[in-house]
Structure 1
Amino acid sequence: MAEKAFDAILFDLDGTLMDTAVDMIHALARLADNHRIDHQLNIAEYRQYISKGAVALVKSVFNDPSAERLEQLRLEYLEIYQQQLNTHSHLFNGVAELLSHLDQTDTPWGIVTNKPSWLARPIVANTTQLARSQVLICADEVGVAKPDPKPLLTAAGHMALNHSSTLYLGDARSDIDAAHAAGMQSGIALWGYLAPDDEPDDWLAHHRFETPLELLKHQSPDNTNS
């Protein structure tokens, strides 16, 4: 799809701004240990499940649990993960510099995530650069998750953004679909948690970025002067 300039950015959290893989996979290992599941959870291998959510992570270790059992394991996993938030998580390289530039140029930016608010909000509040976000919208607070566009539309409403000149950046197909449904520009964070079988060419995103700092090349001219 043709690339266009944008003058505001909404970000996904995990796999886009924050590298939370180590904490999330360590929590999964503890869950497996609690249930005496033999495992060797290689972080590089299991990163691909993170953007697909806690259900995908649990299913990657537990063999075809019933719906009731899966929900129990999911809740147990999230409780374990909550106990070690921000232990090893950190901003991806280049994100701090990108956000600093956006602040210096008065470019509006916010965060829209499917991560539950009781996990996302402590991460954002305890990460200095992310705490400057103009809005944090979590799926549980609006009642639906991406790829439904409602979380993005809610953020845009709070920030009074023009949809067509707003970029939504994420590392999953659901992020791109949500952006399109919201009438926004879509961008793939190629440094994120893409799985080997993902085919981002098929997602029809407006933009693809290898690094966070590449976003600066596509800002609208009015947002590039400090």
Structure 2
Amino acid sequence: MTRAVLFDLDGTLADTAQDLGGALNFVLRANGLAEKSMDEIRPVASHGANGLLKMGAGITPDHPDHAQWRQTFLDRYEECYADETVLFDGINELLRELDKRGLAWGIITNKPAKFTDKLVPQLGFAVPPAVVISGDTCGEAKPSVKPMLHACGQIGVKPEECVYLGDAERDMQAAKNAGMKAVLVNWGYIAEDDDTEAWLQDVCIDTPLDLLAVL
């Protein structure tokens, strides 16, 4: 029996790509590089600062300038994190229905708490989350199962009583390895060359309200 529905944040609950992309393009401009289009940014928006810097400038964690570039990105994102970010269509309708059914819902994201704690209250959720787990809450982020199990402990449910929605392979890995039902959201930040058929999801859905049939 399902007692809780847990969600990834970026690319699953909220469309954060515009603001993440804005921070990336700020860094690129500051270093004399061409900006990236949203078509290029969206597929990697779920991969955070490291993924965006790699896509935008080929800067990886082993690059000598990575720390500086990453800090510039984070500083800029802290200024623009909520400028254009909105919930995806249908999310609040889904949350209201979950609430009617007596199901708890929560967030498990790899986003650092310094951003999650500020962004979540501004998103206008129709029903407040029962738990919010950030990427640094447990010392390990997805695909680790630690955030998944910690969320369950916080709301008093077993992993097998949970459904987890996400848009990345690490989301599916974390959910399945924790014993949750894994749902891949096709509206998320998925690249054309992502081999989603090789991921571990139990089911894919095209809109938030499609989850109701899964439940």
Say yes or no: does 1:133 pair with 2:121. no
Say yes or no: does 1:33 pair with 2:48. no
RMSD: 1.5
Q: In structure 1, how many angstroms separate the alpha carbons of the residues matched to 2:35 and 2:48?
A: 20
Q: In structure 2, how many angstroms separate the alpha carbons of the residues matched to 1:58 and 1:130?
A: 34
Normalising by structure 2, what TM-score? Answer: 0.95
Say yes or no: does 1:207 pair with 2:203. yes
The answer as to whether partners of 2:11 and 2:167 remain within 8 angstroms in 1 is yes
- Among 91, 99, 112, the residue aligned to 1:116: 112
Counterpart residue type for residue 111 of structure 2: K
- Aligned in 2, Cα 1:154/1:130: closer, same or farther, shift over 3 Å? farther
Structure 2 unmatched runs, 5+: none
Say yes or no: does 1:174 pair with 2:170. yes
- Among 3, 10, 16, the residue aligned to 2:6: 10
> Which residue does the alignment assign to 1:147?
143
* Aligned length, in residue pairs: 214
Structure 1 unmatched runs, 5+: 220-226
CA deviations 1:119-162 (Å, max 9, x no partner) are 11111011221770000001212101100010011000101112
**Aligned sequence identity (%):** 36
CA deviations 1:85-125 (Å, max 9, x no partner) are 21100000111100111122221110000000011111101
Counterpart residue type for residue 74 of structure 1: R
> Which residue does the alignment assign to 2:187?
191
The answer as to whether partners of 2:172 and 2:182 remain within 8 angstroms in 1 is yes
- Aligned in 2, Cα 1:83/1:131: closer, same or farther, shift over 3 Å? farther
> Which residue does the alignment assign to 2:47?
52
Give every structure 1 segment of 4 or more consecutive aligned residues whose post-TM-superposition deviation is greater than 2 Å.
63-68
Q: Which has the higher contact order (CA 8 A, sep 6+)?
A: 1
Question: Aligned-pair distance for 1:186?
Answer: 0.5
- Aligned in 2, Cα 1:143/1:130: closer, same or farther, shift over 3 Å? farther
Q: In structure 2, how many angstroms separate the alpha carbons of the residues matched to 1:141 and 1:71?
A: 22
**Partner SS state of residue 9, structure 2:** coil
Normalising by structure 1, what TM-score? Answer: 0.90
